[in-house]
């Protein structure tokens, strides 16, 4: 079971999280957690573009059963 903690955040940030959460089909808390993970990973990996980090985290969160299988292209001779 996951525990939770309440925190206070700026109303503007909350409103931005609400809008982004709706667009990304997340809860508001889920959106803030996602932003925190992206930020943490960006700080830990300053040489990587933030867009790469965000896409990587999103990809890792997708269920493996829904992943598209890799199909190597045949080489023409």
Domain ranges of the chain: 11-66
Q: What are the distances in angstroms from CA 32 to CA 41, 49, 63, 64, 74?
A: 14, 20, 21, 24, 43
Could you give the count of Cα atoms lying within 13 Å of 32 in the half-sphere of its Cβ? 17
**pLDDT single digits (tens) 6-60:** 999 999 999 999 999 999 999 999 999 999 999 999 999 999 999 999 999 888 8
Per-residue confidence (pLDDT) for residue 76, from 0 to 100:
63
φ, ψ at 43 (rounded to 5°)? -65, -35
- What local confidence, expressed as pLDDT, does residue 9 receive? 93
Query: The pTM is what?
Result: 0.71
């Amino acid at each position: 079971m996951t525990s939770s903690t309440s925190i206070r955040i700026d109303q503007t940030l909350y409103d931005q999280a609400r809008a982004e959460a709706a667009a990304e089909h997340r809860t508001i808390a889920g959106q803030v957690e996602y932003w925190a993970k992206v930020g943490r990973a960006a700080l830990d990996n300053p040489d990587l573009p933030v867009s790469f980090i965000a896409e990587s985290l999103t990809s890792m969160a997708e269920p493996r059963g829904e992943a598209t299988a890799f199909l190597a292209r045949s080489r023409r001779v």
